[in-house]
Amino acid sequence: MEIIASGAEAVIALYGNTIIKTRVNKRYRLKEIDETLRRERTRTEARLISEARRCGVPTPIIKDVTDFEIKMEYIDGDPLKNVITPELSEQTGEIVGKLHSCGLVHGDLTTSNIIFMGGKLFLIDFGLAYIDRTLEARGVDIHVLFQTFESTHEGHEGLIEAFKKGYSRTLPGAEEVIKRVKEIESRGRYA
């Protein structure tokens, strides 16, 4: 077993072709509260990954879920941040539109959490995902992605336009969400 990532919430290990995401305990929390939170967050994440998949969003296949651990398929590809093109940005828009159509918000939509493998994009890391159909939640989700485009990718204007095209294809009412993204941007700029 090889640890491939470690964050504040979880340790990600690779075992063969299986990813094992283990939620780590927080010593500063009471043991009972910590265990309850970790158990709930683990189960919620697994449920939302499966729900996204049922909605047509490519995600890792869940193999097993225990109290603090999710075992899932390893998506052995390139992070979108390393291979992004306007065409892949448009496909990202389609996937996010499907996700939002199902009432799911990713919560950490970055080009590191989208993997390109076998000519297909996969959405990973649903640790901050939740259910919310509001314009604001969807707008914030996309705003985070657009900020990633702007801070790490040249030609980000083209990537944003391509994303909007794909997003509009799979989410009825996408124009309203895109308007909200602009509103969120302007609030950040003048805050």
Which residues belong to the active site? 108
Return the number of other C-beta atoms located less than 10 Å from residue 17's C-beta. Answer: 10
- HSE (CB half, 13 Å, CA atoms) of 103? 4
Q: What residues contact 56, with CB distance under 8 A and at least 6 apart? A: 98
Task: Confirm if 28 and 83 have CB atoms less than 8 A apart.
Answer: no
| b/e code 132-168 from CB counts within 10 Å (16+ = b) | beebebbbbbbbbbbebbeeebeebeebbebbbebbb
**SS3 state of residue 10:** strand
Distance set, CA 128 to CA 68, 77, 84, 163 (Å): 15, 22, 23, 22
Q: What share of the chain is helix, strand, coil (3-state, %, to 5)?
A: 50, 20, 30
